Structure 1
Amino acid sequence: MSKKISLADWQQQLTGATPESTNPANQAGLVYSTATGRIDASSPAVSTAEGFADGALRIRRETKGRGGKTVLTILGLTGSPSELSQLCTELKKKCACGGSAKDGIIEIQGDKRELVTTLLQQKGFKVKQAGG
């Protein structure tokens, strides 16, 4: 007759994990990602965004895929995600609208190109308007 085994024991045998290694208290700051496995949380956040060759930011107006709503996208920003988020927050407050910052792109709701261009130029950015 075969030996009965619990689901937890069976999973441990498949993964080769010991009860100590699966205890969250022993993992001190590690986070699991399905894409890359375990990641050390102390590694610094790195921006994947790259600037344009001329160093200028691009402000583009988009309406496609947004239910007819107009959104400004600001491309070409470099820096950490926290700096990007801070700049997005400041622009949203000055423009009195919503928006988000993700993947190196800032999205501002509404068509406020002139105001956003002025604000970014005051902060020392070189800005170009792209698209319609």
Structure 2
Amino acid sequence: MSKNSKLVYSTDQGRIKEDKSTTPAADTGDGIVRLHRETKGRKGKGVTLINGLGLAGDELKKLAKQLKQQCGVGGAIKDGVIEIQTDDREKLKALLEKQGFTVKLAGG
């Protein structure tokens, strides 16, 4: 077995369930929130990815919900990254700076 593989089934125990009680640590990075625009794999529809927030769990969900409501769009949280279904990065930048984050526009 390689180091990156994860056991999902054992003949002794059957299916192995993940331990969801442990919350992954928030990725603080360098303290700068980056807004990336991405269309790859989305049939040309643009989304904005928000990285480096340094938040985890409920705080991240709360911020994502607030940003989606203020922009009037949908979105999701995947692997600690907020995806907002809009190309309006300037509006997102203003909203995040208002909350005290240091924000940079990155990528396309």
Instruction: Write out per-residue CA displacement over residues 14-49 of structure 1, whole angstroms, 9 at most, x where no aligned residue.
Output: 637xxxxxxxxxxxxxxx52xx5xx3x6x45233x5
The aligned amino acid for 2:83 is E
**Corresponding residue of 1:119:** 95
User: Which residues of structure 2 form unaligned runs of 5+?
Assistant: 1-10
CA distance, structure 1, for counterparts of residue 55 and residue 23 of structure 2: 10
TM-score (structure 2 length as normaliser): 0.79
In structure 2, distance between residues paired with 1:110 and 1:58:
15
Determine whether 1:52 maps to 2:49: no
Tell me the residue number matched to 1:65: 41
Of 57, 67, 85, 1:81 maps to 57
1:87-126 paired onto structure 2 within 5 Å: 87-126=63-102
TM-score (norm 1): 0.66
Please tell me the residue identity of whatever aligns with 2:79.
D
Unaligned runs of 5+ residues in structure 1 are: 1-13, 17-31
CA deviation digits over 1:94-125, x for unaligned, max 9?
00000011211000002110110000000000
Q: Say how many residue pairs are matched.
A: 97
Q: Which residue of 2 aligns with 1:11?
A: none
Root-mean-square deviation over aligned CA pairs: 2.1
Aligned-residue identity in percent: 45
